[in-house]
A and B are shown apart, each in its own frame.
Chain A
Amino acid sequence: AQSVTQLGSHVSVSEGALVLLRCNYSSSVPPYLFWYVQYPNQGLQLLLKYTSAATLVKGINGFEAEFKKSETSFHLTKPSAHMSDAAEYFCAVSGVNTGFQKLVFGTGTRLLVSP
């Protein structure tokens, strides 16, 4: 079965520092990969997605992620953190095992941004 692993339940950065949130997936066939963000007391909204086009995917709010098949990774980065980036981030995968019909989410990483 597909799964995703997000390393680190909490990541703390200073404002202006690089943001790196890690996501590794397990799938025998390149899947579709997503990053979602959840602000407090809200639903999830899509940051970016990879669907077998360019391996470097740019999303909203200055975030980007690179699909690396050799490392089965899809890490999320942002060059310079802003206070408004503080939220919980979820990596998700859908793949051939489920006919690409279902998303499987990671357990989430809470990003804390300090002034």
Chain B
Amino acid sequence: NAGVTQTPKFQVLKTGQSMTLQCAQDMNHNSMYWYRQDPGMGLRLIYYSASEGTTDKGEVPNGYNVSRLNKREFSLRLESAAPSQTSVYFCASSLHPSGETQYFGPGTRLLVL
């Protein structure tokens, strides 16, 4: 039981490049989330998927897109990376969206030059 896995662990991009961050969970959870963590700002929700087939914007969705590929996988895409997107990105999942514990992956460190 690996829990929540994220790939890659670390990535360097140039401004304007695109990339997709991958997330998978093996806990049969219904809900999945993408956060970014910046110093002094805590975690901010980018997008979430309350259940398979649905996605919704969070607090900071601009510049990102998501795909809930199936129940296990939830990917985050940066179409044209900007230095402001330099951050640590965390994927999380929970059994249900309401009031449930969220389980976090180990994170992806992204540097945009």
| CB-contact partner of B104 in A41, A44, A99, A102, under 8 A | A44
* B106 proximal to A (CB < 8 A): yes
* B42 proximal to A (CB < 8 A): yes
Per-residue contact bits, chain B 47-89, to A (CB 8 Å; 1 contact, 0 not): 0101000000011000000000000000000000000000000
| CB-contact partner of B40 in A9, A44, A94, under 8 A | A9
* A51 proximal to B (CB < 8 A): yes
How far, in whole Å, are A46 and B95 apart by their CA atoms in the complex? 14
Shortest CB distance A43–B (Å) = 3
Instruction: Check A32–B90 contact: CB distance below 8 A.
Output: no
Q: Which residues of B line the A interface, CB within 8 A?
A: 4, 31, 33, 35, 40-45, 48, 50, 58-59, 90, 92, 97-99, 101-107
Q: Which residues of A line the B interface, CB within 8 A?
A: 9, 32, 34, 36, 41-46, 49, 51, 90, 94, 99-108
